[in-house]
Amino acid sequence: MEDAFKYAHEKEDEIIWMSQNTNELDTSPIINLKIIEAVKKRKYNLYPYQQGLLGLKELILKDLGIEENFDALITNGGIEAAYVLTRAMLDKRDNVIASDPSFLPIHRQVKLCDAEIKEIPVYKDPYRMTVEEINEQVDSNTKFILLIDPLNPLGTSYTREEVKGICEIAEDNDVWIIDDITYRDFAYEHTLTTDFVPERSVLVYSFSKNCGFAGMRLGALIMPNEISEEIHRWRANPLSANILAQVGAKAALETKSQWMDGMIKQSRKNQGIIKEAIEDIPGVHLPVYPSSTNMFVIDVEETGLSPEDIQSVLLEDHNIFVRAGNYVSKRFGEKFIRVSFTIPEPQVRKFASVFTEVIERMR
């Protein structure tokens, strides 16, 4: 299939979207009400305040418990936050330490700055970077450690001890940490690098996954006040981000305590349904379970089937859109597919019921 995304978007409403870790589970009806109210008042006629909708920045910092000493730049998604950061801080000779598999668009941003990306292979136990491996890779040109925690696509997260160890490396080598916390709310426990090295932590924050706002395109770059002025000079959009997204995001954070637990519970239930359905298929296994995110990797290497073919058959025959591994790993992409499960339970059950049959038929 030439363009799976075009195909899927043409049939948008019929598709079960398990391909991009988006989240369609219930949050709060108040979010919709606030957005509709803003539409009725035609708030979109005006530019938003450049620093973001009043109060939103404070809510983001409060969400992380870092109200003091930090600033948040509101961006069009976490991906723009990473873009601004790499543009502002990376020079030609710099390198960035990251994992493989990983969320590769950030690696591409690093390369755009003519900087080097040093990928640590993590498709092996413990399926995340170890403190020792990072230590071995750091050199005098290292500018950042890209810590995606929890990790897309594997679903691993770092223990407090590991985060502390990584922060110590950053401290000892005068290196910054990009703490990409896009999936933080899905983790069983999570430690921010700001707990140990607030002065060298820059956080990529997203509303896409936890709040189900992927189409809204809203996120933030969170940084120590000392570098805030310089980073703001590099903002990709000096006219702020979509006002409706910001109104919704504010409502989402204000109501988060009412819906987050229920949403996470359903997400965890969904991954259990899939595990149960696929664990006895010969040649198929889950390298990481339970996942600390809203996705996991299904290893299909021993079936001898190509992940891309599995993606195509699920999409064309069943309207189920999963992602072949090569989107998140050049080295290991032929071994797995990635599926996300923050979708309504009946859709999860449909995937669970057809996956075995698809694998057996293709074999």
Ligand X SMILES: Cc1ncc(COP(=O)(O)O)c(C=O)c1O
Binding site for ligand X (CB under 6 A): 21, 77-79, 103, 148, 152, 180, 182, 204, 206, 208, 214, 219
Q: Closest separation between CB of residue 256 and ligand X, Å? A: 16
Q: How far is the CB of 295 from ligand X (least distance, A)?
A: 9
Least distance from ligand X to the Cβ atom of residue 63, Å: 15
Question: Looking at residue 16, what DSSP letter applies?
Answer: E
User: Least Å distance between CB 124 and ligand X?
Assistant: 20
CB of 106 to ligand X, least distance (A): 7
Closest residue to ligand X: CB criterion: 77
Reduced to 3 states (helix: H, G, I; strand: E, B; else coil), residue 320 is strand
Provide, rounded to whole angstroms, the least separation between the CB of residue 40 and ligand X. Answer: 27
Based on CB atoms, which residue is closest to ligand X, 21 or 191? 21
Query: At 208, phi and psi to the nearest 5?
Result: -70, -45
In the bound state with ligand X, the residue whose beta carbon lies nearer, of 214 and 314, is: 214
Q: State the Cα–Cα distance between residues 238 and 317, nearest whole angstrom.
A: 45
Taking the least distance from each CB to ligand X, the nearer of 15 and 284 is: 15
Indicate the residue among 48 and 313 with the shorter CB distance to ligand X: 48
Q: Nearest 5°: CA angle at 123, between 118 and 127?
A: 95
d(CA 68, CA 48): 24
- Cα(220)–Cα(79) distance, integer angstroms: 9
Question: Least distance to ligand X from the beta carbon of 317, Å?
Answer: 26
By beta-carbon proximity to ligand X, the closer residue of 194 and 340 is 340
Q: Closer CB to ligand X, residue 31 or residue 284?
A: 31
Q: Which is nearer to ligand X, 179 or 299 (CB)?
A: 179
* In contact, 284 and 299? CB cutoff 8 Å: yes
Assess contact for 143 and 89: CB atoms under 8 A. Answer: yes
**Cα(134)–Cα(165) distance, rounded to whole angstroms?**
10
The H-or-E segment that residue 176 falls in is strand 176-180
The secondary structure of residue 331, as a DSSP letter, is: T
Helices and strands of the chain, counted as H and E runs:
11, 12
Q: Give the whole-angstrom CA distance, residue 17 versus residue 341.
A: 9
Q: Considering beta carbons, is residue 15 or 220 the nearer one to ligand X?
A: 220
Q: Which residues of 7-29 are buried (b: 16+ CB within 10 A; e: fewer)?
A: ebeeeeeebbbbbbbbbebebbe
* Closest approach of ligand X to the CB of residue 315, in Å: 19
Which of 308, 298, 292 shows the shortest CA–CA distance to 355? 298
Q: How far apart are CA 363 and CA 358, in angstroms?
A: 8
